[in-house]
Amino acid sequence: MRRVTMWMLIGLIAASVALTACGGGGAKVESKTKSTTLGQELLDIDKAYKDGVITEKEYQKAKEELLKGKR
């Protein structure tokens, strides 16, 4: 009876060690998704144009590309 108890205890310890080792590793996986609406993107480029960040030509090109790509 003592042998059975001892082997069960050894088995439990081995299983505990094995299971705790599975959770480690330190790998961290992140996934980020960016979702904006067409309206928001148009507002953003309009603001950039009005603030002088982009030229009128760049504004027209960006606007055209957005409208063409979102159909």
What is the chain's mean pLDDT, rounded? 82
Q: How far is CA 47 from CA 29, 32, 42, 64, in A?
A: 35, 25, 9, 16
Residue 36 has what pLDDT?
87
6 has pLDDT over 60: yes
Could you tell me if 49 and 56 are in contact, meaning their C-beta atoms sit under 8 angstroms apart? yes
Residue 63 has pLDDT above 70, yes or no: yes
The predicted structure's pLDDT at residue 71: 53
Domain ranges of the chain: 36-71
pLDDT in tens, 22-56: 555 667 878 777 688 999 999 999 999 999 999 99
What CA–CA distances, in Å, run from 69 to 9, 23, 41?
65, 44, 12
